Amino acid sequence: MKPLLAIAFLLAAVAACDDSTGELGGPGAACGGRTGVTCGLDQYCDFGGNRCGTDDVSGVCKARPDTCPRLLVPEPTCGCDRIVYSSACEANLGGTDLNASGSCTLDPGAFACGFRQCKKSNQYCQRSTSDVAGEPDAYTCLALPAACGGTPSCSCLGSQSCGAQCAGDSGGGLTLTCPGG
């Protein structure tokens, strides 16, 4: 390797290193967004707000979980790689962060609830907005109350927490947005 090329390579490697670990793309290193840095094979890039770096904001390399609990009922979860996983843990194990834009292909009869997919026929989405900078909103699929019957609407969710902040219809799914606290 020519001396100038070797120096340029060394400088680029040092610039991409995490100062706390000295490892290229190691735990805690900035990743994605404008950095262009990818994390190690045993890590994933955790983006603030689960936006997958679409806003050019960098994420932080975090260790992938070793295993994930086996769920009796899968929680279809959209990853930044646009693959639907059976849970948030499985997405992280697969090397990706959660995709709050919900841009994955929806399962039949499902609607996007942030990074989750809820069933139109018997669930609604509850979005809890974060009031802490950098912390993502929380998304949960909850069972529709019996009062909703076969054609759910916002009126049947009026007695639920944040029921007045309902949007949607039976065709596209119902979402309650609750303020953070």
DSSP letter at 165 equals: G
End-to-end CA distance of the chain: 57
From residue 69, alpha-carbon distances to 36, 51, 64 in Å are 32, 25, 14
pLDDT at 66: 95
Q: Can you give the pLDDT of all 181 residues of the chain as single tens digits?
A: 443 333 333 333 333 333 333 344 677 888 887 777 889 999 999 998 888 988 888 899 999 999 999 999 899 999 999 999 999 999 999 999 999 987 899 999 999 999 999 999 999 999 999 888 778 889 999 999 998 888 889 999 988 888 899 999 888 999 999 987 5
For residues 29 and 22, is the Cβ–Cβ distance under 8 A? Answer: no
Using CA atoms, how far apart are residues 113 and 139, in angstroms rounded to an integer?
6
pLDDT at 181: 58
For residues 105 and 84, is the Cβ–Cβ distance under 8 A? Answer: yes
